[in-house]
Structure 1
Amino acid sequence: MAGRSDEILQKLLSARNSAAGEELSTRSEAVSRQFLGVQYRANTLIGSAEHPEELVVELEGVDCFTYADYVEALKRSDDREQFIDSLIEVRYKDGVVGFRNRKHFFTDWSAATPAIATDVTAELSAKSVAVTKHLNRKDSGGMYLPGLPEVSRQVAFIPGADVDDTVVEALRTGDYIGAYADDGGLDVTHVGIFVDTPDGPVIRNASSLRANNKVVDEPLFDYVRTIPGIVVLRPTQ
């Protein structure tokens, strides 16, 4: 672990364990809240088709995907060793730390076995749309991740204009919300965590926007108006 990450991990585990007996949504909110204000930091993971993968734990700075990784792994752990094991399970297929095994796409969480989350998008709205994606292959040509194959997958999303009160009422705190990608080679462009707060529904996310550049809570409806639609994965535990 880099820098102060080991010290930070102990504080995160303490917060998680304080909520261990609570419902899943309460546990998710308690853990994800600890990251509010943490700096946005991209490209912290190490590994490519040419360079060996390393298991990175960087808690001083997160991007939207590593933030989701850490929250999900923490929810499943009560000590440091279990956290490492859970992070490997969440981030990689078949428990193998490797670039080709990394779950590079949001919907890998629901497509891999065992599933980390269930795709509930189509259940939330009759207006959901299913699209066959060719993940990793850019519409403009070439691959997003050289050295990895193209993956054909049907991805359902709810158009932004159709994310209404009924949809939001069916969401649960702790659901993972992906910003649907128009490009056929991506499923989503951003990921956050749904939280039903006393002040209204928000998406808790590691924002790269210059005005934020950290983990923040953004009003969900304001955010949804800026994206094509949402993909919703519900954690299995």
Structure 2
Amino acid sequence: MLAMRAAAGAVSKGDLIGLLSRQFLGTPYGADMLVGSATQPEQLVVDFRRVDCFTYLDYVEALSKSATRDQFVANVIATRYVDGQVAFPQRRHFFSDWSQTDAAPARDITAGLGAGTVTVAKQLNAKADGGQFLPGLPVVDRDITYIPSDAVSSDVIGNLRTGDFIGAYTDIAGLDVTHVGIFVATPDGPVFRNASSLAANNKVVDSSFVDYVHTTPGIVVLRAQ
């Protein structure tokens, strides 16, 4: 993959993400690939044999910035962890964490993609019953802007670029999205490239973007820096 990246030459960041992400098609899905918690030391995991939806994005983003194996590992760390510290509290656990610091991998472009966006005040990590999704981590107050699925028009899709990171917005208290993937424009129409846990897939697949969007409450869109 590093050789492929080098051979790609002067292409856009989005096209590079599209090229590299395609190499993972068919890779088996693996749930909860990362190791670490408030009570278990964090381990740096780099495993191409199986990916979940977040580690898939980690690897593709890191590969797009790397010329050597050592650079790739360093870029996985920089992508996955705030300030490059391999520690559970520093991990970017939520999709919106990818756009929250100066050195974050991406920026949130959702609000500028078209009319009809909705902004919701969320308390990330706080379950509706008072518990936490990630024990030992704080609750974070954050406004999440998303485009409702019925507002994802042809104009909105026309403003998306290959390589944009797509999060499936959720109404569940304490979460921003429930799944993530990559937007790719193809000759046969736009696809949602993702590590799918669905029994019919259980691997990295290209799904119809339009069809997928209509199975979700809406989308959050980040663009790689």
The two structures have a TM-score, normalised by structure 1, of 0.93
Match of 1:56 among 45, 51, 55: 45
Which aligned pairs between 1:102-141 and structure 2 lie closer than 5 A?
A: 102-141=91-130
2:146 counterpart residue number: 157
Cα deviation, residue 16, structure 1 = 1.7
- Contact 1:16–1:27 (Cα < 8 Å) also in 2: yes
1:67 counterpart residue number: 56
For 2:95, what is the secondary structure of its paired residue? coil
Give distance in 1, aligned partners of 2:31 and 2:3.
26
Which aligned pairs between 1:208-219 and structure 2 lie closer than 5 A?
A: 208-219=197-208
User: C-alpha root-mean-square deviation of aligned residues, in Å?
Assistant: 0.8
Cα deviation, residue 154, structure 1 = 0.5
- Contact 1:179–1:229 (Cα < 8 Å) also in 2: yes
1:101 aligned onto 2:87: no
Cα deviation, residue 112, structure 1 = 2.4
Give distance in 1, aligned partners of 2:181 and 2:129.
27
- Contact 2:14–2:224 (Cα < 8 Å) also in 1: no
1:235 is matched by which residue type in structure 2? Answer: A
Give distance in 2, aligned partners of 1:117 and 1:193.
13
1:175 counterpart residue number: 164
- Contact 2:106–2:222 (Cα < 8 Å) also in 1: yes
Match of 1:145 among 122, 134, 137: 134
Where in structure 1 are there 5+ consecutive unaligned residues?
Answer: 1-11
1:79 aligned onto 2:68: yes
Where in structure 2 are there 5+ consecutive unaligned residues?
Answer: none
Which aligned pairs between 1:6-85 and structure 2 lie closer than 5 A?
A: 12-85=1-74
Give distance in 2, aligned partners of 1:147 and 1:113.
25
- Contact 2:62–2:79 (Cα < 8 Å) also in 1: yes
Closer, same or farther: CA 150–20 of 1 in aligned 2, 3 Å: farther
Cα deviation, residue 189, structure 1 = 0.2
Map Cα deviations across residues 180-231 of structure 1 (whole Å, 9 max, x no partner). Answer: 0111200100000000001000000000000000000000010011000000
- Say how many residue pairs are matched: 225
Cα deviation, residue 31, structure 1 = 0.3
For 1:230, what is the secondary structure of its paired residue? strand
Give distance in 2, aligned partners of 1:191 and 1:203.
9
Map Cα deviations across residues 74-126 of structure 1 (whole Å, 9 max, x no partner). Answer: 00101100001111110000110000000000010101231211100010022
1:52 is matched by which residue type in structure 2? Answer: P
- Contact 1:179–1:190 (Cα < 8 Å) also in 2: yes
- Contact 1:20–1:27 (Cα < 8 Å) also in 2: no
- Contact 1:19–1:26 (Cα < 8 Å) also in 2: no
The two structures have a TM-score, normalised by structure 2, of 0.98
For 1:35, what is the secondary structure of its paired residue? coil
Give distance in 2, aligned partners of 1:208 and 1:18.
32
For 1:232, what is the secondary structure of its paired residue? strand
Give distance in 2, aligned partners of 1:108 and 1:20.
30
- Contact 2:193–2:204 (Cα < 8 Å) also in 1: yes
Give distance in 2, aligned partners of 1:146 and 1:154.
22
